[in-house]
């Protein structure tokens, strides 16, 4: 259902790819940080620049992932379906469900 709402594979493929890349970069960052902390080598500046580069690449992929999620049609279509269902629901629904619960569902 979510894939169909979001233009199919044009949404899911980059989403999964960027998530995997970010996860591997984070794991590689932690491994290098562990190696650097136990290293007695004098070339510690080398590790600092590598870790900084990994963080920059991870920030870029995170930004791209947020753009993909922000441009998603899924959230708008789910909200539109919810409002449509609420507008065409019978009056008995409004009598049975407290007003606070309806407002809470719409606002989140």
Answer yes or no: do 4 and 55 share one domain.
yes
pLDDT at 5: 62
Contact 51, 33 (CB under 8 A): yes
pTM exceeds 0.75, yes or no? no
pLDDT for position 2: 57
Clarify whether residues 44 and 95 are in a common domain: no
Q: Are residues 15 and 68 in the same domain?
A: yes
31 and 78 together in one domain: no
CA distance 83 to 107: 11
CA distance 23 to 28: 9
Q: State percent of the chain over pLDDT 90.
A: 3
Task: Give the structural domain span for 20.
Answer: 1-72
Q: Please write the tens of the pLDDT for every residue from 38-96.
A: 877 766 777 788 888 888 998 998 888 888 777 766 677 777 888 888 889 898 888 89
Asked if residue 11 has pLDDT above 80, the reply is no
pLDDT at 30: 87
Same domain flag for 12 and 45: yes
**What is the total count of domains within the chain?**
2
């Amino acid at each position: 259902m979510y894939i169909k709402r979001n233009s199919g594979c044009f949404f899911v493929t980059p989403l999964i790819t960027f998530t995997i890349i970010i996860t591997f970069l984070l794991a590689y960052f932690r491994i290098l940080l562990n190696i650097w902390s136990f290293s007695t080598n004098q070339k510690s500046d080398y590790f600092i620049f590598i870790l900084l580069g990994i963080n920059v690449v991870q920030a870029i992929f995170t930004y791209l992932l947020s753009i993909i999620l922000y441009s998603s049609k899924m959230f708008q279509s789910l909200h539109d379906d919810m409002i449509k269902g609420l507008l065409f629901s019978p009056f008995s629904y409004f009598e049975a469900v407290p007003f606070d619960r309806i407002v809470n569902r719409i606002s989140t």
